Structure 1
Amino acid sequence: MTEQVHGRGLAFPLRLSAGGVAESAGAAKVAESIRIILGTQHGERAMRPDFGADLRSLAFAPNNGATADLARHNVTDALTRWEPRIDVLDVTVAQDGARLLIDVRYRLRATNEVHNLVYPFYLEGGR
């Protein structure tokens, strides 16, 4: 059932399995799609220049509250726009050394299951 609703396709990142190329389905496919959205920079896709969360534009920003707030805003906006299979419940960003830990809580619309995903984003500027 969830495979029909959430999709099935090649796993991300691309890897091999015993039968060839690995596949994923259901809630795992949605989580992979979220990672793709968060890892894509605006302008990276020629036919969808505004796709993605544009987090890499923050790579050299200082690790402070303003950067964390901007990351939270970018993630919330991107997931709301580009992932129609979920409802974003909460996005929190914690500063951890030279990285931001982006914690996304979301609900799968088809099944009402609540999931979370922690996405580490490394800042080059550090503190």
Structure 2
Amino acid sequence: MLKTYHGSCHCGAVTFEADLDLTQTSYRCNCSICRRNRFWPAVAKPENFRLLTGEDDLTLYVFNTKKNHHLFCKHCGVRCFGIGNETPMGTMYGVNLGCLDDVTDEELSRIPITYVDGRDDRWQSAPEFFTHL
């Protein structure tokens, strides 16, 4: 069931709302960017994500195929969300669960996690080792 959550970057310049179902899987990936910044996203459809403040405070980083948009607060460096432009569900927002302001530790501990092997482009498979993600 969708519930509206509020989130922000560390300095508060970027704020957002997202309608998420935290009983659905979230993702941990071993690709070069997710592993380095420990990104832990839940998926939101575009109509279920609203950037409230800080559009001008975001900086965009793209690499490799340039399909995905990695957005960071240019003040504190936190990645609140990213945009996947060519995914099996079409365009989607990956909302960083660590940036949600109104979710409890208990709720976070119950969110299912799917581990994906992005490093080797085996997106439908878990990497051999994943507990460190």
TM-score normalised by structure 2 residue count: 0.27
Larger RCO (CA within 8 A; separation ≥ 6): 2
Structure having the higher helix fraction is 1
Query: As a proportion of its length, which structure holds more strand?
Result: 2
Structure number with greater Rg is: 1
TM-score, length-scaled by structure 1: 0.28
